[in-house]
Chains A and B, each alone.
Chain A
């Protein structure tokens, strides 16, 4: 059974239909890239899978690990192992990054009938991952994302992912706003997480992230539908010819972003 199975998914925001029938099957261990121009519905797909209520699912089904995903609350999806690395990580003033992550990990552990970790055990557990993502202690003591640079925010997302160990990770434009060094660091963090039990959906506008995180499959999204699917070479084709080569118009204005 596939880890994630999306069938004919339709979603609207306000009275505008953004997703117009998405079909996608993701097996454990696979990395799928979703590419497409601005406004094609990439971010909407990521947000709908995470359960953002801003979007209304008007048709179709999503099965995750045998469960009806659309019936679960966002927090239950997270506890069941779905992680969304946000395109725009949210700032939460007053709440320390460390405390936030410990609270998240403990709710997830509780859901899995694992004992909650105390501060010491938690620190012990994350130390290695901090080093890997170049997250120093001061960054962890600061309020969640508050005053973080763009790169720090994205690193923080991947660090959270490493700590929470999801089964399905959805990376929404994780490369946006990163310089090449930061991109390599983030990609290394993601690659370290690849495993036979874990699936990833990597949403990106550009091919450059996919040179670092090499996908098993590439899907091209346009106007709310997957118009083309292929292997990793599809990303290179797009790089060479652009979306126009596939006959896709790029919209000037980005929509569907939260």
Chain B
């Protein structure tokens, strides 16, 4: 076996560094799903009647649906009656009013993850709404944001404090009947983030949420809703790591974005759920529905994701380009190693006139990883002057992995322009040797090449996240010399 293959394997075999289980007592309900469970979740959260009805409607619809099988992923059948659908850290009962009151164990958990809340609060200007299991326990910078009219906090709080806003937009981008996992989420969602940026306000800081699955065997069903009113701008960061465990955990989140006239939403994700061990045992099943609606003229929604975790990723952050001149963007790096499987991509639905979309997808496969890009570009009949540019590149490390690309194009308007580029490359032994002959170790050479491959996507990440993304891929920073 050649040296470069060895290095690639060493990198591919790096163990999940963030694996540990925190010792926080969880307030969980019994396993299984029924109308009673849905009612119990809603009751525990003191939700208004309309929301309970909305959940029940979703649950009843979910019962009529079957799990989708079209994705290029394989996993044992999920027993939906063997899942605990709600858990909240006990400390929530004595709701902390400041970080001092937050369970020190929880704070230590964040520290282990390299997310010192206080430090971020003070130094980085990032408002962190930390989702630990299912309930938000610490929200920072809320007051400052509030002064500007920006509402940012947990979804449950928003339901209590801004029920009309939630009701106006919830389920309008991803209907509760949209797909199997979205319906499930709609029935049992526990918490998540809510953000509303009022007319003409440019949100002064990056909004950030860290997700973490912790209580054993607890499905995590986040619900996130972000609304940018006319002329507003918001950049939202989502990142997560999860502790080591053996049982597969289901994660079925729904994220809805709404951009009105001239509004812009930038949504960035670094996803590092536990991928399972070297043999493919354990790991998170990540079945996520993310969709943004560019409702207004000149509105823009930009998705950037770095997906390195999960045993299985099933995720297609999409844009509905409804408003004239609206813009949708999707920048993605998906890395699969060991026995990870990812089927990810985007859908760009051009509805309004002169709408533009850009797709840049970078798939990296190592070990026995299987990486699928699935992207749809749809130009509807009235979408005159629509433009799309798609680029899908795959990089293979080693010879046991796979890369697959499924681009779907559906064009019903002849005035549109679409470009599609795709490439597949392999890190070659000659490239590694060339680097080594210049004094650069094999490991650094691989990092350098992988980073170079992902550069176009990393460039789209906010500074705070770029560093984390690079850490996650174990690469050295490509500086901007000259």
Contact = CB atoms under 8 A, between A and B. Distances in A.
A168 to B, nearest CB: 12
A52 interface: yes
Contact of B434 (A73, A89, A122, A164): A89
Contacts of A91: 431
Interface of B: 2-3, 425, 428-431, 433-442, 444, 448-449, 451-453, 455, 476, 478-482
8 contacts: A51-B436, A73-B436, A75-B441, A77-B437, A90-B433, A95-B452, A99-B448, A143-B452
Contact of A164 (B438, B444, B478): B438
A147 to B, nearest CB: 14
Interface string A158-187: 001000100000000000000000000000
B434 A86 contact: yes
B439 A108 contact: yes
Interface in A21-47: none
B481 A96 contact: yes
A103 B451 CA distance: 14
A95 B478 contact: yes
Contacts of B453: 93-94
Given A98-B482, A100-B435, 20 more contacts: A52-B433, A53-B2, A53-B433, A75-B437, A77-B437, A83-B437, A89-B434, A92-B452, A95-B448, A95-B449, A96-B481, A99-B479, A102-B479, A104-B435, A111-B439, A119-B480, A123-B482, A143-B452, A160-B438, A164-B438
A92 B438 contact: no
A211 interface: no
Contacts of B479: 99, 102, 119
Contacts, number: 100
Nearest to B3: A53
Nearest to A80: B439
B438 A104 contact: yes
A104 B448 CA distance: 12
A50 B437 contact: yes
Contacts of A60: none
A103 B437 contact: no
Q: Which 8 A-B pairs have the closest CB atoms?
A: A94-B452, A104-B438, A90-B434, A95-B452, A78-B439, A74-B436, A107-B439, A119-B481
A250 to B, nearest CB: 27
Nearest to B448: A95
A124 B479 CA distance: 16
Interface residues of A, number: 42
Nearest to B430: A90
B458 to A, nearest CB: 11
Contacts of B438: 78, 100-101, 104, 160, 164
Contact of B440 (A90, A93, A103, A137): A103
Contact of B476 (A84, A93, A103, A119): A103
Contact of A92 (B442, B449, B481, B482): B449
A170 B438 CA distance: 13
Name, among A54, A86, A93, A140, the residue most crowded by chain B CB atoms within 10 Å (CB to CB). A93
Nearest to A50: B437
Given A53-B3, A103-B444, A119 B436 contact: no
Contacts of A154: none
Summarize A's interface: helix, strand, loop or mixed.
helix
B482 A137 contact: yes
Contacts of B425: 93
A94 B454 CA distance: 8
B455 A104 contact: no
Contact of B439 (A90, A104, A258): A104
A249 interface: no
Contact of A100 (B433, B448, B455, B480): B448
Contacts of A191: none
B217 to A, nearest CB: 42
Contacts of A122: 481
Contacts of A58: none
B393 to A, nearest CB: 9
B481 A90 contact: no
A20 interface: no
B60 to A, nearest CB: 50
Given A94-B455, A96-B481, A108-B439, A103 B434 contact: no
Nearest to A109: B439
Nearest to A144: B434
Contacts of B430: 90, 258
A79 interface: yes
A83 B433 CA distance: 12
Chain B CB within 10 A, most for which of A51, A53, A122: A53
Contacts of B452: 92-96, 143
A162 B474 CA distance: 31
A191 B428 CA distance: 33
A75 B431 contact: no
Nearest to A90: B434
A73 B4 CA distance: 12
B121 to A, nearest CB: 31
A220 to B, nearest CB: 26
B8 to A, nearest CB: 14
Interface in A116-131: 119, 122-123
B2 A98 contact: no
A149 interface: no
Contact of A90 (B431, B442, B448, B480): B431
Contacts of B481: 96, 98-99, 102, 119, 122-123
B431 A79 contact: no
Given A107-B440, A111-B439, A92 B2 contact: no
Given A98-B481, A119-B481, A92 B434 contact: yes
Contacts of B440: 75, 100, 103-104, 107
B437 A74 contact: yes
A74 B440 CA distance: 9
Residue among B2, B436, B482 with the highest chain A CB neighbour number at 10 A: B482
B305 to A, nearest CB: 19
B395 to A, nearest CB: 9
